[in-house]
Amino acid sequence: MEIPVETESYTFEEALARLESVVRELESGKLPLEKALELFEKGIALSSICSEQLKEAERRITLLIAGEKGELVLDSTGTKEDE
């Protein structure tokens, strides 16, 4: 399985699917050490991408919920603004 280095451009779903694939391959136990280390490194990068995208989604949800309570809302650029 080849995972491109430019993982930053993946959607959450793409990164998660690739991460799951990496985990399955690592769990197989059939890889030479160097290949396993390479895949582990790519898995860490993919995990980081997923984590960052989840944090951003949580931030947006928090702002949207706050907007319902009359506090802050998310504008079309993704920044906070007062109602």
Range of the domain at 44: 9-82
SS3 63: helix
Average pLDDT over residues 37-55: 96
Q: What is the pTM of this model?
A: 0.70
Average pLDDT over residues 51-79: 76
C-alpha span between 21 and 82 (Å, rounded): 43
In this prediction, residue 62 carries a pLDDT of: 84
2 in a structural domain? no
DSSP state of 69: T
Token output for 55: 């944090």
In this prediction, residue 56 carries a pLDDT of: 95
65 in a structural domain? yes
Stronger pLDDT, 23 or 72, i.e. the higher one: 23
C-alpha span between 9 and 15 (Å, rounded): 9
Q: What is the mean pLDDT of the chain?
A: 83
> Do 3 and 42 contact (CB within 8 A), yes or no?
yes
**CATH number, residue 65:** 1.10.287
